[in-house]
Every structure is written in structure tokens, then in C-alpha cells.
């Protein structure tokens, strides 16, 4: 069980990997939560949004789309088990979704159950911990988690505390990287770093800033 971080953390890396997937001899590829920017090389898509609401103009990778209305499963990704058997997919793609979910660890476990390998992209913790939106909100409004990789084993999810929005001293003063991407094969560790109450949340946020040596 291991992961491999892919750099740089930007959209160009995502597009390059989408083209790589399209060039592989995969029989079945699943895009998890891909309605906003579907992976065109995916043979199947799992998303709470219906097929007709997909953003065709924002798709990733070369045309044509390999999936169809019949292989688009309208499904809440948080609900388990997913409607696929073990190792049904050669590759699982999940781009900028896990940070949104109620149960990202459950979703990661399902990716590992239904797929043999895959690619996950999320927002980098430094970006999600800094003011990047026009209205002063830290990170993105709808994101629930701060995500970090722990190489080589896996990934860790930290509750995105509201303290970040009201206490500037707990924020990252700069977004060092926008996205975080990693590939996995066979499986990886996915866990929550539990932070408990206010004191524990504050201590965890301060520790992150100290360890990363952010400078004003």
C-alpha cells in the first residue's frame, strides 16, 4: 500500500494525467464525482448529478467521451457500498472531490475496493488555509477538509475548523501550492486526524504553520 505524489500541483498536471489515462489499454475506468469536469476517458461515472448536467465543455482529456448515459450512475458518493463489484475497474479517477465529502475516508475505501489503481487530486492544505476568495473566506466555502499526504503510506484528513475564518493568526499567510495530486496502486491508508474541541483544533492549526515554517 503506497501513494506517489505528482508535481507540480496545478491544472496542467491534471490534464497531462487525463491524457495519460486515455492512452492506456484500460478496459474500465471510473470517474468519481466528475460531473463538473468529467474525465472523457472514463467508461463509467459516479456522481450525484445526472448525466444531462455534466459540463461537456469542461471535460478533461481528449474527446470523444467514452462513458454514456447508460454507464453514468447517479449516486451520492458518500453512500456505501458503491454499485460495483470488487476490482471492477482498472483505474479510478477522482479530481477535487474528496475535500467536499461528508465521508472522504469511506469514499477512499470504496475507490480501493472497486479499483486496482487510481489518481486523486485535491486542494493543497496551504491553499485551503489561506484567503483566496474575493470575500475574505479562507479556502473554498464548500470544502469540509484539509488534506495532507503522508508518504509513502497514504493520506490524512483534518477537519476544516471555522477558526480559520475568524482568526487570521491561524491561517497560512500564503498559498504555496494550489493542488495536491497522488496516484495509488493496490491501496493506500486513509485516516482522519481527530482534533476534538476548540483547544485541540487551535493546537493542530498552529502546529501546521510551525512545521511548514510559513513566514509573513
Measured distance CA(206)–CA(171) in Å, rounded: 9
Measured distance CA(176)–CA(160) in Å, rounded: 18
At 70-128, the pLDDT tens digits run 999 999 999 999 999 999 999 999 999 999 999 999 999 999 999 999 999 999 999 99
Measured distance CA(150)–CA(97) in Å, rounded: 19
Measured distance CA(39)–CA(15) in Å, rounded: 9
Inter-CA distances, 163 with 131, 154, 169, 170, 173, Å: 13, 26, 10, 7, 15
Measured distance CA(10)–CA(156) in Å, rounded: 20
At 29-43, the pLDDT tens digits run 999 999 999 999 999
Beta partners for residue 159, in sequence order: 145
Q: What CATH number is associated with residue 92?
A: 3.40.50
Give pTM, 2 decimals: 0.95
Number of structural domains found in the chain: 1
Residue 112 backbone dihedrals phi, psi, to 5 degrees: -70, -30
Q: What is 188-214 written as a DSSP string?
A: -EEEE----SHHHHHHHHHHHHHHHT-
Q: Residue 215 pLDDT more than 60?
A: no
Domain range spanning residue 105? Answer: 3-212
How confident is the prediction for the chain on average, in pLDDT? 94
**pLDDT, mean of residues 19-37:** 97
Amino acid at each position: 500500500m503506497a501513494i506517489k505524489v505528482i508535481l507540480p500541483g496545478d491544472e496542467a498536471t491534471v490534464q497531462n494525467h487525463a491524457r495519460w489515462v486515455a492512452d492506456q489499454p484500460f478496459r474500465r475506468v471510473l470517474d468519481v464525482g466528475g460531473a463538473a469536469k468529467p474525465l472523457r476517458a472514463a467508461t463509467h461515472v459516479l456522481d450525484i448529478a445526472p448525466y444531462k448536467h455534466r459540463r461537456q465543455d469542461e471535460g478533461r482529456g481528449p474527446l470523444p467521451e467514452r462513458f454514456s448515459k447508460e454507464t453514468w450512475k447517479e449516486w451520492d458518493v458518500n453512500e456505501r457500498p458503491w454499485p460495483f463489484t470488487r476490482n471492477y475497474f482498472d483505474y479510478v479517477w477522482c479530481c477535487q472531490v474528496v475535500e467536499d465529502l461528508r465521508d472522504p475516508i469511506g469514499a477512499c475505501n470504496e475507490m480501493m475496493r472497486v479499483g486496482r489503481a487510481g489518481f486523486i487530486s485535491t486542494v493543497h492544505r496551504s491553499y485551503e488555509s489561506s484567503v483566496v476568495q474575493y470575500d475574505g473566506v479562507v479556502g473554498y466555502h464548500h470544502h469540509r477538509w484539509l488534506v495532507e499526504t503522508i508518504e509513502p503510506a497514504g493520506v490524512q484528513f483534518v477537519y476544516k475548523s471555522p477558526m480559520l475564518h475568524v482568526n487570521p493568526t491561524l491561517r497560512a499567510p500564503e498559498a504555496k501550492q494550489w493542488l495536491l495530486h497522488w496516484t495509488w496502486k493496490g491501496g493506500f491508508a486513509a485516516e482522519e486526524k481527530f482534533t476534538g474541541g476548540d483547544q485541540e483544533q487551535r493546537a493542530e492549526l498552529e502546529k501546521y504553520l510551525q512545521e511548514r515554517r510559513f513566514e509573513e
